[in-house]
Amino acid sequence: MSSYDGKEAARQVWGASPAGWVYSEGAAIGTREYFENVIRKRSTYELPWLAEVFPFDKTRGKKVLEVGCGAGYDAYEFCRNGANYTGVDITPENIERTKKHLSLVGFDADIRLGDAEHLDFPDESFDLAFSNGVLHHIPDIRKGFDEIHRILKPRGEFWLTLYHKNSVFYRLSICLWTHILRGGFLKLSLDERRSLIEYTASDARPIVNVYSKGEVQTLVQQARFSIEFLGCRKLVHEDFPGTIARLIRPVPQKWLDRLGRVLGWYVVVRARKS
């Protein structure tokens, strides 16, 4: 994927359709109804574990930087819990969406354009850096980690989610079912196949990387962070191929949640600047 501008593709993809838009239930992007619908679906279905892994309620008074704020769903969590929040995103449309979202619920924050590989902040500016499902889309994740280390204060926290290479969704649905058994390899490379994971109204194809837990551990430690928590989360029926998803529909979600701690779609990390 080095032959094209991955950052411009990201701007086009998430400019056309912000993350979470599939949960909008038809509400127009930017309306109160839109934000309420997406947050409700995220908190009850897609990411109900998020506040368990990342203690938003303990961020009051902390200077927080979110790298890749999207449409402001997690920005809302930080603001309502009293954090001194700043959000950056590479997509101009998302800056306006997050500002609009926060204003609708009575919050104001510093939201600006930003590049994860070149953060425009002085050294040791923040107590906490947060990036939820973003850094697997950038060309050089090591550079992104180094920038986050730089802008954090001594012993600052780094909260992170990345796509999991050894998940049910990736190994079974993408690699085995779609790419091999259904002959997807005849049309697209696996890199190209991954770029189609993201739902979008754009024709652009973003960078989509996946990592094993071991790879994430190595990347985080090489960036001079000490890991306090490393695990996996998020496994729902739809993560299985269509036929299998229908067969396992009677399986309770709580059972999938347990399996998701090993084979979930996200690697989740809490780390601290060494």
Domain containing residue 163: CATH number: 3.40.50.150
- Cα 35 to chain centroid distance, Å, stands at 17
**CB of 225 closer than 8 Å to CB of 149:** yes
The model's pLDDT over 53-93, given as tens digits with 9 standing for 90+, comes to 999 999 999 999 999 999 999 999 999 999 999 999 999 99
> How high is the mean pLDDT of the chain?
95
The CB density around residue 112, as the number of other CB atoms within 10 Å, is 15
The model's pLDDT over 123-149, given as tens digits with 9 standing for 90+, comes to 999 999 999 999 999 999 999 999 999
Structural domain count, the chain: 1
Q: Tell me if 234 is assigned to some domain.
A: yes
**How confident is the model over 41-61, as a mean pLDDT?**
96
Range of the domain at 46: 6-273
**CB of 200 closer than 8 Å to CB of 17:** yes
Q: Tell me if 13 is assigned to some domain.
A: yes
Taking the alpha carbons at both ends of the chain, their separation in whole angstroms is 33
Greatest distance between any 2 Cα atoms in the chain: 53
Tally of CA atoms within 13 A in the half-sphere of 125 that contains its CB: 16
Q: How far apart are CA 116 and CA 64, in angstroms?
A: 15
Q: Tell me if 1 is assigned to some domain.
A: no
pLDDT given at position 2: 42
- Please report, as a single letter, which amino acid is at residue 144: G
pLDDT given at position 156: 98
User: Which ranges in the chain belong to alpha helices (H)?
Assistant: 6-16, 32-41, 50-53, 73-80, 92-104, 141-151, 190-195, 213-222, 242-247, 253-263
The answer to whether the predicted template modeling score (pTM) of the entire model surpasses 0.75 is yes
